[in-house]
Amino acid sequence: MRAQKNRPAPVPTRAMIVDFIRHDPAVCMMPGLFRSFKSGVERPKFNAVHDFGDGRRLEFSGPDQLGADDLRVLQGLVSMALKSHKIIPPETNDPAEQGARKQLELEHEAHYMDSVLVKGSFADLAREIGQVDLDDTQPLRKCVERMWKVSVIAEVKTAQGRSRRGFRLIAGYGSDEKGQAGQLRVGMNPQIAEIMLGRSPKHTRIDMSEVRALKSDSARLIHQRLCGWVDPGKHSKATIDTICGYAWAEEDKGAMRMRRTRARKALQELIALGWQAEEYERGKYKITRPAAIRPLRLCKEGGLDAA
């Protein structure tokens, strides 16, 4: 029997329908924000600055470089927020909501934007990202706390000039220490909230079933960058070295051979999920993303609505 290459994923039935998230494309495409680490390596401080060329300029800085584990937890928090959240307006009189906004350290235009409060548990977060052991919440706590320390400065070109926003990546963190799967409360910054709530036409669509299925850090990092770059049902081309740059931001000529091998293995993980990666020339790939299936979500009235 002839082997099938780039076999498409089966068409899901109603019971298989998966959920998608609307994520901030700037976070997904930001070079050097998330990177792959060797096990046991101490994380350095980081300051990632990028001009996207379309009027957007972003700067992320923190005491600990973010990794693939943080990326996955942030995706999980956005997914939790889409299912259940509370909008926190600037004029809120609720002390707890005021405290969450204060911890976001909103500056400039961000003062006048809504933020979002996510409530749940670490066990909920573990399920959202496909973690098998729901009781092992310590790594999740570390990810949330690490991202809480990250500051963001965003500049956006507008018709009136330049809009400047400042905030923490996430904030309002609190947990119930009673039991390993304690309660979790996280404030999402206004930029992520705006996109998550559908108020911005620009968003990155990420299939959470793919997030849960990926196994390697390199595959998770490459997957998010490709989701930010390739729309569902479309294709784009990239060299293997460009793909390596999605997982390893710093240059290391001595490590490139190993990185290319790991990047190719990461592409195989994506192919197993229905993506296609055709090497049309040595080291050059045509990458095709599966067409999105519109998921059904609970609407405010309790019925189902297409996202």
pLDDT at 7: 43
Between 46 and 3, name the one with better pLDDT: 46
Q: What is the pLDDT of residue 177?
A: 52
Structure-block tokens of residue 30: 């930001």
Q: Which of 153-157, 208-212, 222-226 has the lowest mean pLDDT?
A: 153-157
* Cβ partners under 8 Å of residue 251, min gap 6: none
pLDDT tens-place string over residues 238-268: 999 999 999 997 777 788 999 999 999 999 9
Other Cβ atoms closer than 10 A to 253 = 6
Residue owning tokens 């707890």: 96
Tell me what pLDDT residue 112 has. Answer: 93
- What's the pLDDT tens digit per position in 112-137? 999 999 988 999 999 999 998 888 88
Confidence at 40, pLDDT banded by 50, 70, 90: confident
Instruction: Quick: pLDDT tens for 268-277.
Output: 999 999 999 9
* Total residue length of the chain: 307
Backbone angles phi, psi at 207, to 5 degrees: -85, 115
Of the listed ranges 144-153, 229-238, 248-257, 290-299, the one predicted with least confidence = 290-299
pLDDT digits (tens, 9 = 90+) for 68-82: 999 999 999 999 998
Is the C-alpha dihedral spanning 68, 243, 279, 25 positive or negative? positive
Average pLDDT of span 29-58: 89
pLDDT of residue 277: 97
Distance (Å, rounded) from C-alpha 301 to C-alpha 210?
29
Helix (H) or strand (E) segment spanning residue 175: strand 170-175
Q: What is the pLDDT of residues 44-103, one digit of tens each?
A: 999 999 998 878 899 999 999 999 999 999 999 999 998 888 999 999 998 888 888 999
Mean pLDDT of the chain: 85
* Plot region of 182 (φ>0 → left; ψ -120 to 50 → alpha; else → beta): beta
**pLDDT reported for residue 296:** 41
pLDDT > 90 in the chain, percent = 64
Maximum average pLDDT range among 34-43, 67-76, 286-295:
67-76
Cβ neighbour number for residue 258 with a 10 Å cutoff: 12
**Position 131, amino acid:** Q
Q: What is the model's pLDDT at position 293? A: 62
Q: What is the pLDDT of residue 302?
A: 34
